[in-house]
Structure 1
Amino acid sequence: MTTANKFTYRDEVAERLADFTVNVSGDLDADIRHAAKRALSDSVAVALGALDHQASHIARKFASPFTRPDGAVIWGTSMRANPDLAAFVNGSLLRCYDYNDFYVGERNSGHPSDMTAAVIAVGEWIDASGEDVLVALAVGYEVVGAAFDAFSTAPGGWDYTNLTAIGACAAIARLLKLDVEQAREAFGMTVTPHFATDEVESCELNARGDLTLWKRFNGSDAVRNALQACFLAQAGVEAPVRPFTGSNGFIAKLANKHDPVPVILDRLQTGNKLTRIAWTYMKLWPVGSMAQSAIRAALEARAQVKDLSQIKEVRVFSEEGSYQHFIEMRQDPYHPISRETADHSMPYVVAAAILEGNIGIESFDLERVLDGKRQKFVAEQVKCVADPTLGALKDGKLARAGAGYLSRVEIELQDSTVVHGAAKPFPGHPKAPFSDADIAQKVTQNALAFAGQEVTDQIIKALVTFDTIANVKDFTKILAFDWASAKREKAA
């Protein structure tokens, strides 16, 4: 015989997250359904473009002893694994390059698309429909947006992935059809045992001159933890009683000076429509978000130069946050020594755009980064300055992001002629959103070398009609191609 506990402990944040996840309407407006397909398509494009990245090779090596024939597809291979492992491996592809979408909230920002591979893996595991996956993603993005409005990870030195994991938990709980009690336990098990520090973004380089490879995995690892929490809750495992509001709970560990609880309660009301998946920022170029406007401006200015040998000087004027992130935080931005020091260097990024007429993954290949002529151009002919008229730190990140993380570019020629690239929002910004054709082009650009034309066309067609797919397995079986073989055939 058991006796009831006379003490009652509540965690209103866990309760609200669970109630919203389970009970918010999944009836997507046509434009939100379209936005969800666009976010999904962008994520798949980015992932497929990273199949030959070092981290991808390592992830597949890690997974190979644990494969099972009835598991979820490891994209670009015939391998299959449990959904948590597939989520980890496929999700790491999204962060191999700075190429996936990002979301800026009132207090935090990060990459909600970290959850995409996990949602697909779970959908594949349970025979979910395409519409089920799109709704789950919309719920997950909504929760990420609320978390980015409510919580700041900076004061405690934590990573954004702690917040993305909360959104991933919501998406997967919705897909698994957990009830409110189970969802509450899943959120508790997501935030209590797994706290990721921001040391991965320390800008300290390893022996190769790169950032640690863990940066490629920390997002998918956080999402994998959320996935496991949902399955644990489904099985009946309980979380701590007050995972968010307890004296040693999630909120206490964040060390925020403001009270985030009212924000969560306000943003996550079950009567709200799902909209935030349409607010995400996308990238045309595989570079950090704060350099996208500078690339756009550099290409605009370059189009007015007939002879690149006549360039005397390139001047980049960036809003203060972009200057801080791509100049001040970097050890030596005018002398990059690796892929990652190059793609986080404003001088290099702008120089590569001007010299190549575009920016692609190959723009940061080591032989290009270390090319003597390019190194000389970056160090001697590119000048970067902060321009607070384009955006000041005091304005806050949300305002600067909403404007487009603006930069403008001037190219001065030997005859003293100066051509200009204006400060405008970049392609993929909510003020300059991708068209369906832009998304299809991004998929093609990233998938073609690894999947071949026929499979690439099948992927694009499936993504366009994803809401009509009866079983996600009909999509993932298209992704079970041999990327290495396709690449060899193209090379031959």
Structure 2
Amino acid sequence: ADPGVREVGWHHATLTQFVSPLVAGRMYDLDLDQMVAAVGISGSSHFTLGGVVAGHLTNMKNTADPLASQAGVIAAMMAREGYGGPVEVLEGKEGLFEVLSNVTWRPDWLLKNLGKEFMITQCGYKAFPTEALTHQPISAALQVCRENNIAAEDVAQILVETTTRGADILSDPSKFAPKTKETADHSLPYVIAAAVADGNVLPDSFSDEKLVDPRIWDLLAKIKVKADPEIDALFPAVKRARVSITTVEGITHTAQVDYAKGSPQNPMSDEEIIAKFRANADGVVSKKRQDEIIAATWSFEQIDDLGEYMRTLVRD
């Protein structure tokens, strides 16, 4: 779709509900008619409002896509047992294309170079445990601080220039006073403050202690977020962000980042991916289990029993 469904108020899990039954259907070895039924079942029953990630955020922010994926699995199971669903759930009367009429649907994009180019190669890994549009600003802020040896106490003002969409959803008033992890990791001011204060943004940047850290709150009051139409014109091919930090001495340092670490154009190394996994897994599974999961994941294509792999992921 052009623009994307997220840009017109729907969460991207709205599209997950059309994809997840196909993935589940492959796993269940459904035939073509059953696949169509599964997409119809899931696609006609689960739309996700963008409000799930707007304003003050809750646990539901983390659950939107999992529920859409669960819907696809249930739909595939129903189709396997002979349950039918609307066949023209995409292009038919009151289907997706007609109901979401404030975008231009381009189904030809899905068919272009089908079987030759695989869109999964354009997927990225998040280098930070935050909303995707915060990654370029975080990278730019870290670059400014590291290149100029700037500490939190040196900062007089921080200007973040980003897309209109990013400025809108990531820096509304609730994002300057986050009370929950879910709001904080979708708050552009908070993640920039955490990056400058601590030199990185990690899972524990959103602990109860960090949410009241006076160093972070002091920086929050010094941050301004500005939408830049020139950056909008580059989006989504380039997700540019610019961060300017003015020190108490009155010197301004600026960095611009087009491709954050973890994007296809600036991929994470295997070592960085492993470090990210361990940061998330610490306190959930033991170091020994982490090693087992890493080994199994790197040899995933040789695994014959998916159930055995899934059992390695059960928390201690």
Match of 1:310 among 141, 151, 154: 154
Q: TM-score, normalised by structure 2?
A: 0.89
How far, CA to CA, are the matches of 2:45 and 2:79 in structure 1? Answer: 14
- The alpha-carbon distance between structure 1 residues 438 and 257, as it changes in their structure 2 partners (threshold 3 A), is closer
**CA, structure 1 residues 306+297, in 2 after alignment: closer, same or farther (shift >3 Å)?**
closer
Cα displacement (A) at 1:292: 0.6
Give the residue type in structure 1 aligned to 2:3. Answer: R
- Give the match for residue 107 of structure 1: 3
Structure 1 unmatched ranges of 5 or more: 1-104, 109-151, 206-210, 483-492
Partner of 2:129: 286
The answer to whether 1:251 aligns with 2:97 is yes
**Residue in structure 2 matched with residue 200 of structure 1 by the alignment:** 52
The amino acid of 1:363's aligned partner reads S
- Where relative contact order (Cα < 8 A, 6+ residues apart) is larger, the structure is 1
8 A contact 1:242–1:249 mirrored in 2: yes
Structure 2 distance, partners of 1:355, 1:257, is 40
In 2, distance between residues paired with 1:469 and 1:410? 48
Q: Deviations over 1:335-387 (max 9, x none)?
A: 333333332332221111011011012212233222334323311x2233233
Go from structure 1 to structure 2 and tell me whether the alpha carbon gap of 1:197 and 1:282 turns closer, same or farther (over 3 Å shift).
same
Which residue number in structure 2 is paired with residue 407 of structure 1?
Answer: 241
In structure 1, distance between residues paired with 2:301 and 2:50: 36
Q: Matched residue of 1:477: which SS?
A: helix
Q: Please give the per-residue CA displacement for 1:12-71, whole angstroms capped at 9, x wherever unaligned.
A: xxxxxxxxxxxxxxxxxxxxxxxxxxxxxxxxxxxxxxxxxxxxxxxxxxxxxxxxxxxx
Of 310, 323, 333, which residue of structure 1 is paired with 2:167?
323
The aligned length equals: 315
In 2, Cα distance between the equivalents of 1:153 and 1:293? 19
Q: 1:186 aligns with which of 21, 30, 38?
A: 38
Which structure 2 residue ranges, 5 or more long, are not aligned?
none
Give the CA deviation at 1:310: 2.9
Letter in 1 for 2:20: A
What CA deviation, in whole Å up to 9, does each residue of 1:376-427 have, x standing for no partner?
3311x223323333x12xx3xxx41321x22222222233333333333110
Query: 1:468–1:420: structure 2 CA closer, same or farther, 3 Å change rule?
Result: same
- The correspondence of residues 23-172 of structure 1 with structure 2, limited to 5 A, is 106-108=2-4, 152=5, 157-172=9-24
CA separation of 1:160/1:309 partners in 2, compared to 1, >3 Å: closer, same or farther?
A: closer
Partner letter of residue 236 of structure 1?
G
Percent identity among equivalent residues? Answer: 25
Residue number in structure 1 paired with 2:80: 234
Asked if residue 385 in structure 1 is aligned to residue 226 in structure 2, the reply is: yes
Root-mean-square deviation (CA, aligned residues, Å) is 2.5
> Does the 8 Å contact 1:188/1:239 carry over to 2?
yes
Q: Aligned partners of 1:455 and 1:216: how far apart in 2?
A: 24
Which residue type is aligned with residue 219 of structure 2?
F
1: CA distance, partners of 2:257 / 2:114: 39
Q: Tell me which residue corresponds to 1:360.
A: 202
Q: How far did residue 294 of structure 1 move?
A: 0.8
Establish whether residue 420 from structure 1 lines up as the match of residue 245 from structure 2. no
Q: Deviations over 1:181-238 (max 9, x none)?
A: 11111111111233333332342x3xxxxx2322222222221111111111111112
Flag the 1:416–1:453 CA change in 2: closer, same or farther, 3 A: same
1:372 aligned residue (210, 214, 226)? 214
Deviation at 1:266, TM superposition (A): 5.8
Distance 2:102 2:112 in 1: 23
Contact 1:282/1:428 (8 A) holds in 2: yes
The TM-score, its normalising length taken from structure 1, stands at 0.59
